[in-house]
Amino acid sequence: MKPYILILLRLSVFFTMILCNKRMDPRVTHPVRGHWSSSLPKQVANPIFYQSEDHSLFIGGEEILYHYNFEIMKNYTIGADPNICQGKPYCKNYVTFVGQLLEKLTVCGTNAYNPGCWAMAGEQFEKLSYPWAEQMAPLTPEINHNILIAGDQVYSTLSRKSNNGVSMMKTFFRKIHGKTPLLYTGDKFLRQPKFVKSIVVEKEDKIQDKILLFFSEDNIESRTLEKRLSMVAQLCKEDSGSTGVNTRYVFSTALKARMMCGNQLSGQYYPHLQDIYFLQGKTGNVIYGLFTNSWNHSAVCSYDIEDIENLFKSSSLWGSSKKDLGIRPGTCLPPPTKTPEQTSEEAINHPELTEWLWPLKNSTVMQNLYYYRKMVVDEITAANENIYRILVLATDDGNVHKVVELEDGVVNALEVIPFNLEGKLHFMELKSNTHVLYLGTTHEVARLPLDDCDAYNKSCTDCIQSGDPFCGWINGKCESVLNHNRSMIYQNLSENATCEHDSTILFLKGNGDASTNKELSTTPDSTIRNKGDPKMILKHDPIDGTLELKITKVMYPGEYKCTSKEKEAECLFSVTDTGTTIQCIWILVSTVLLLILM
Ligand SMILES: *[C@@H]1O[C@H](CO)[C@@H](O)[C@H](O)[C@H]1NC(C)=O
Ligand SMILES: *[C@@H]1O[C@H](CO)[C@@H](O)[C@H](O)[C@H]1NC(C)=O
Ligand SMILES: *[C@@H]1O[C@H](CO)[C@@H](O)[C@H](O)[C@H]1NC(C)=O
């Protein structure tokens, strides 16, 4: 085969895939702008959010901390210490951390290039004198970093100011407070990392507790062409260091692996990690990763926590030739046992696994042409007692998509537009016990109950075909399954579910008097997302008394049934997505032609 033919063939297959990879628009859009949101008194350029136990929100900004309980907004001034940086650009105290630290509500900030922390004492904030407070906040507000608090153990990726004033170029993940020794990762561990998240995975045997660190970093391996790779690192939480004299204070168990997200069958990969959610639910412990590709399209992949552990237990180390080490690199030993020097040397010199972390089923959970930035995952027990997982995905401007994971794929059930003002999303957190989502942008904060069913309240069919396991039909309304006895509420999550006694006329309320052929041009229904110009054609045949309803260009394929009470007429119609199908067929035909021509 001639090389150019091969290239043409690949291109053709590639475009076929792009075109046939439909944009998965939400079935329903629910613009509740302002209904659940409140604006901040002032725009905050880099807001830091903390959701406290009592369900109130703290929002840190430039020398200020807001406390909002969704009724009153209080504020506290958190000024910088007297300083000598006048004239420099960040000569103020920018809050970069708010949270519970050593049992105190603590705020840390840049403090005019002299990072520090303050703890709440009554109505005041008092400066803390922890020697490691300077590693709790960066020098300027936009520096990417990661802080992990696990009980009274504190970890940070920020370095101490060196005595000669030269800032360190290399980044380390280090324990800055807690049980000694205070270890840090080796020289070769991180290459210009950008941190996404860190979590603690607790095991029954505490010695096996792990820290997982998710980040992207420069690629220097020749195995793949990507400039940046998405990585997961694993460390034993009880690591006591190495017996080696020079590596006594280096994490002796830290290893890392490349994270893959994509579809092996179609060869579509999403290299850039955006967000991580650790689902610890009734259906298992699973890491969900949100990834994007260079076109800013998104994919979600899931990884079993056991698979991650097994990978670190079984893979060889990339570039390592040693086999008989006695103790495998990455083995968690009971403290105060230190890792033998031979083993830790291998881990420190060759920290990357040969094998890559592939997602469950070697495929994505979902792919979409939207550019999502944040993700959480919730679980809900539906009326049929099955437990469903809901992916909640948010775009940069804070629009939220509720995507339901089903056996054979996903349904993008709902888009909620919570914010009034245009702002950038900085915060999204789920309180899974109450199923309430908290969001924050540079301008607003919002609280969205995930079991809100108002968007599907048009009719019974609307409600049950929504595909939303949170919602069911009861007493003539679409309501939350959390507020009703599950056996009483009617729910059928299938596309073709019908309501026997549903007498609501879709789009047609109050038009029962249609007597002649007429074409109604409608305003797009706010709850059905329509592309282009939706048209509704209503025909009434005066001889046999039938009503025919046609809707063109609806983005929600499926069958609609409507009945008219007055005339006892019934109309059935279906909308199919012919446009995309034709495109796909056309490209496939050209691919086949190309093959014949060779
Ligand atoms: C802080 O609260 C005080 C008193 O309620 C109010 O007068 C002031 O405008 C607030 N400041 C900001 C920046 O919101
Ligand atoms: C993807 O998003 C980033 C960040 O918003 C933007 O800078 C970039 O131009 C986008 N790329 C494409 C191909 O749209
Ligand atoms: C996933 O792909 C990897 C690499 O091709 C392969 O080693 C592994 O066996 C596959 N796993 C499954 C479940 O198909």
- Mean pLDDT rounded to a whole number for the chain: 83
What is the edge-to-edge ordering of all strands in the sheet holding 37-39? Answer: 37-39, 444-449, 436-441, 425-431
Compute, in angstroms, the gap from residue 358 CA to the centroid of ligand 3. 7
Q: What residues contact 193, with CB distance under 8 A and at least 6 apart?
A: 157, 171, 215, 216, 217, 231
Question: pLDDT digits over 207-263, tens only?
Answer: 999 999 999 999 987 788 889 999 999 999 999 999 999 999 999 999 999 999 999
Tell me what the mean pLDDT of segment 504-528 comes to: 32
Tell me what the mean pLDDT of segment 438-463 comes to: 94
Distance between CA atoms of 123 and 475, rounded to whole angstroms? Answer: 48
Q: Is the predicted pLDDT of residue 104 greater than 60, yes or no?
A: yes
Give the pocket of ligand 1 (CB within 6 Å): 41-42, 64, 75
pLDDT score of 168: 63
pLDDT score of 153: 97
The shares of helix, strand and coil residues in the chain, as percent rounded to the nearest 5, are 15, 40, 50
Q: What are the tokens at 432?
A: 């899974």
297 lines ligand 2 (CB under 6 A): no
Distance between CA atoms of 286 and 308, rounded to whole angstroms? Answer: 10
336 cis-preceded (ω within 30 degrees of 0)? yes
What pTM was estimated for this model as a whole? Answer: 0.82
272 lines ligand 2 (CB under 6 A): no
Proportion of the chain above pLDDT 90, given as a percent? 66
pLDDT score of 323: 77
Give yes or no for a contact between 96 and 48, defined as CB atoms under 8 angstroms apart: yes
The C-alpha angle 393, 396, 397, rounded to 5 degrees, equals: 105
Secondary structure (3-state) at 524: coil
Indicate which residue's Cα is closest to atom 10 of ligand 3.
362
Give yes or no for a contact between 574 and 549, defined as CB atoms under 8 angstroms apart: no
Place of tokens 């796909």: 584
Compute, in angstroms, the gap from residue 261 CA to the centroid of ligand 3. 12
Which of 308, 141, 297 is closest to 212 using CA atoms?
Answer: 308
362 lines ligand 3 (CB under 6 A): yes
Indicate which residue's Cα is closest to atom 2 of ligand 2.
296
Place of tokens 């792009």: 18
pLDDT score of 423: 95
pLDDT score of 382: 93
Secondary structure (3-state) at 244: coil
Does an H or E element contain 18, and which?
A: helix 3-20
Compute, in angstroms, the gap from residue 127 CA to the centroid of ligand 2. 40
Which of 72, 73, 80 is closest to 96 using CA atoms?
Answer: 80
pLDDT score of 266: 87
Tell me what the mean pLDDT of segment 522-535 comes to: 32
Judged on CB neighbours under 10 Å (0-12, 13-18, 19+), 564 is buried
Q: Is the predicted pLDDT of residue 86 greater than 90, yes or no?
A: no
Radius of gyration for the alpha carbons in the chain, expressed in angstroms and rounded: 28
Between 377-386, 543-552, 579-588, the lowest mean confidence (pLDDT) is in 579-588
CB atoms within 10 A of CB 312: 24
Give yes or no for a contact between 67 and 49, defined as CB atoms under 8 angstroms apart: no
Q: Is the predicted pLDDT of residue 547 greater than 70, yes or no?
A: no
Tell me what the mean pLDDT of segment 473-489 comes to: 90
Which of 81, 124, 159, 27 is closest to 464 using CA atoms?
Answer: 27
Tell me what the mean pLDDT of segment 112-129 comes to: 95
pLDDT score of 250: 96
Secondary structure (3-state) at 597: helix
DSSP string, 211-258: EEEEEEEE---SS---SEEEEEEEEETT---BSSSTTTTB-SS-EEEE
Judged on CB neighbours under 10 Å (0-12, 13-18, 19+), 26 is buried
Place of tokens 């628009």: 25
Q: What are the tokens at 56?
A: 């109130």
Higher pLDDT, 55 or 393: 393
| CATH numbers and ranges of domains, the chain | 29-39+370-501 (no CATH), 47-141 (no CATH), 167-274+285-361 (2.130.10.10), 503-576 (no CATH)
Question: pLDDT digits over 142-195, tens only?
Answer: 999 999 999 999 999 998 876 555 556 789 999 999 999 999 999 889 999 999
Backbone angles phi, psi at 204, to 5 degrees: -60, -45
573 lines ligand 2 (CB under 6 A): no
Give yes or no for a contact between 317 and 330, defined as CB atoms under 8 angstroms apart: no
Best mutation site among 259, 264, 354 for ligand 3 pocket (most ligand atoms within 8 Å of CB): 264
Question: pLDDT digits over 297-355, tens only?
Answer: 999 999 999 999 999 999 999 999 887 888 999 999 999 999 999 999 999 999 999 99
Which of 274, 283, 483 is closest to 395 using CA atoms?
Answer: 274
Tell me the pLDDT band of 472, cut-offs 50, 70 and 90. very high
pLDDT score of 233: 98
Compute, in angstroms, the gap from residue 363 CA to the centroid of ligand 3. 10
Indicate which residue's Cα is closest to atom 8 of ligand 2.
296
